[in-house]
Amino acid sequence: MKLYKQSSLIHKRDNEITSGQNSPYISRTPKPPKTLPRSINYLFKEQRFLFILVGILIGSTFFIFQPTLSRLSPHETAQPFSNSISRHTQHFPSTFGAKIGRVPVEIGRRRLRIVVTGGAGFVGSHLVDKLINRGDEVIVIDNFFTGRKENLVHHLGKPRFELIRHDVVEPILLEVDQIYHLACPASPNEFEILDCVIHKTNVMGTLNMLGLAKRVGAKFLLTSTSEVYGDPLEHPQKETYWGNVNPIGVRSCYDEGKRTAETLTMDYHRGAGVEVRALDPATGKAGLGQLNSDFYHVCIARIFNTYGPRMCLDDGRVVSNFVSQAIRKQPMTIYGDGKQTRSFQYVSDLVEGLVALMESEHVGPFNMGNPGEFTMLELAEVVKEIIDPSATIEFKPNTADDPSKRKPDISKAKELLNWEPKISLRQGLPRMVSDFRNRILNEDEGKGMK
């Protein structure tokens, strides 16, 4: 009985299979063979390929005609359009003699992350202005020992600006591309009061910043001083001159401190195998022989007397002393006979020189100053012409170790950095006077309100 049922079930299944094969409703029509890959087929559907071509055409048209538009005169181009272009473009020098238009900032160079130690000071704050205005991110490190927050107040709240209250004699960990090391009190009035602080900043501060530069592979620039030449026996002073310095005098904390900072910088360059300004980050090729790409960059600038807005009103430097005294109707103080000479550069010229050095492939040291030479008596006469012809002069005994003459030889910077100062003393001094007038007026008003 069981065998009969199994055979009947098998017979029934075979009949269903046979009938299914003959049924027109069960069979499926075979798919046609694919002629194109799915991705290409997707592009040609719904005119997608046409839209891609139109987009390429629009983009190409913009980059072809944009340089031409930037060279048009204001009369040929509508003012709103010209303004919108200028806000997003930057001038770049032509190469190989070819004329090029303005290039968008985002294409021309990448944004750098830069540390400026002592960035709340006189020179440092002007350098911060330059770096922020060109589109970089700037971190200022300052302990406000001599720096002033007022010098940076116009940058507070900007997304590309950061201010850290920190003393460089203590290590700090940051990720940066460049380090401008300016931190150090530089006023003659502070040499006797802050002598150990000044020397410690020059030694420990420089060591910490060099260590940071080595750790993260950042470029490092040391701002040294013409004081490394001491009371020079060579005139004008070239970078090859070793100087005539009193190592135990009242000014030695600054003079010898900066000389030590230069020594440390060059020790890192030589002893640590540090390559100096020779590696091109764009090509990865070394400009001074076969150098290791793991090396980092250092350079040294020797700064001569600098003046301009944001100087401390009473810091003991001759230009700020004369200007503040003349504005306050006080006698201008000359130490000694007034025949000692100095050279004075405007702060914006110095900032341009520092940036040029940082962007170059050279170590230095480089003198950075204005070769125009003035005696203290001549400087006093210029100040009288600009501020008050009736201003008087008061003579006092000269200070210890005061250099008798100071004038930079900047032929090296001219040749290798294509840099030289452009603003004369009579052009730059009125700008400083305007800043000092406002601050002294505000200072007097504040005293009157107390």
Amino acid at 398: N
b/e code 259-297 from CB counts within 10 Å (16+ = b): bbbbebbbebbeeeebbbbbbeeeeeebeeeebeeebbb
Copy the structure tokens of residue 431: 């700008």
DSSP state for residue 378 in the 8-state scheme = H
Query: Which residues 6+ apart lie within 8 Å of 301 measured at CB?
Result: 221, 222, 223, 224, 353, 354, 357, 364, 365, 366, 368
Q: Coil, strand or helix: which one is 306?
A: strand
Query: Which residues 6+ apart lie within 8 Å of 111 measured at CB?
Result: 135, 136, 137, 160
CB–CB of 360/435 below 8 Å?
no
- Which residue, chain included where needed, has tokens 């210890």? 400
Work out whether the CA dihedral 312, 190, 342, 240 comes out positive or negative: negative
Q: Is 254 a catalytic residue?
A: yes
Question: Exactly one of 4, 25, 42, 254 is catalytic; which is it?
Answer: 254
CB–CB of 271/207 below 8 Å?
no
Q: Give the CA radius of gyration of the chain.
A: 35
Integer CA distances (angstroms), 277 to 124, 268, 414, in order: 22, 14, 17
Ordered DSSP codes for 149-182:
GGGTGGGTT-TTEEEEE--TTS------SEEEE-
Q: Coil, strand or helix: which one is 360?
A: coil
CB–CB of 235/407 below 8 Å?
yes
Rounded CA separation 369/305 (Å): 7
Residue 246 phi/psi, 5-degree rounding, is: -85, 110
- Which residue, chain included where needed, has tokens 């190409």? 60
Run of H or E including 409: none
Just list the catalytic residues.
254
